Structure 1
């Protein structure tokens, strides 16, 4: 029986692995043998041109490796999506998927590498529009889209099977990228996402499926926030090779200061998720902002001695949750518990560094997907985002999926987003 003491954002990963083991032999091809990352020139598809040298060959977004990870026909994709309870009516093609390794930068601007998933449809137009899909909270690096056949694959497979290329970054420190994941650091998530777009452009050209430059941005949970920030960066012209066409994030924590954090204390976020998210957030943000000098300032014993190591990207969500208490009150010191209810200092600085990504005027259509039943990221986040956009003259409807929980919100929203992207594309 499934352990329900795991946040809904993570239960599907384990459930999906069980489902995958029960599917037919055809579904077993969902993930090919994972290959080690090697230089791109050594991993070119048969007949592909050698890597071209350019002014950006050693800069951000430079492609270092292409590793095939999946080759599915249309029926395989439909089975995979249906295993998660998703509508398969938009599945038109099979797909091939690849792990890309590319150059990017750390939160401090130092050179590093990251990985991500590029999914390409079998069929459809030769030149492909691109969906940027940014994933939700993951603590174990192997849950990332380019590595794990888990929740992180649903959106890429959904959009690719509908006929668009998909660039799904793993973010820093997840997948095969080095170091720790700077959880909820929106700035570095955006740089990793932009550089994934650049690497995808190079890879798609080498794979003989060049990109049009049109980008449809979407993401779920943590990735919903990233999608809004990425859309803003594209709108400002962060890379002239890409043009934003539409924004459709799902259940993003767009307002940590005024929506997400208060909901941790008033019952709108369930206790298990509150403990998991806040532990992850505090330990990651403490490396970027002055939250505390020692974990014992924020966490009670014995958790102060173990909490940082739990989020080393090598522990599963189940392992982490079983090692932590049931409530925030038991996790945090009395002083820190009070401070989180009235953000000041480093805590306020960290929250505001992530907030504000709806405070701009997109020149493209925007839809915000959420649900009243979500007890991980309450719908107040989407409503506050819509209000920020409305204050700038942008109407962004909040599509409420009703009583759906966090993951189900995406499973219901995803096919609706595909059909909406189709409508937007048809206007040109």
Structure 2
């Protein structure tokens, strides 16, 4: 390897390191700014749990949200390939009980950055895996069939299945199918639609 090639590689490594440091610094500044941003009246902290001990979550305040396109643009601006960005993010300020170094009770805050949940299963999965789920075969088909007998048994206690027609995460058809499996085993399990 020539001296020029070594110098070029060194410069590339240093440039990548500067980009990563710049991204880390930018992220820190953005998160610090978001944590210092006062919550608007519509975003008042919501009580999150009843426990009042150390670590008890006192409130959750929505602070910001970035769409998939905004996350991709942010990464592209930091010279990071945005091709794998599939979802946006939401940022929340968490307020919780803590102790000072002297052991006195106080409160503290932190930021939680989480992926925005997609609106559908199709948005959650890669296109390839979504197509595999639509037409499963091989090991995937065997695994799905093995898990398909959840309600294929006879419990010794009364069973009531709770569901909701408007549930966007779990279709009421799951409960109806489960009730049919239980009925084949002599169990009457009403489906309660909330």
State TM-score, norm by structure 2: 0.43
State TM-score, norm by structure 1: 0.21
User: Relative contact order (alpha carbons < 8 A, sep ≥ 6): 1 or 2 greater?
Assistant: 1
Structure number, greater radius of gyration: 2
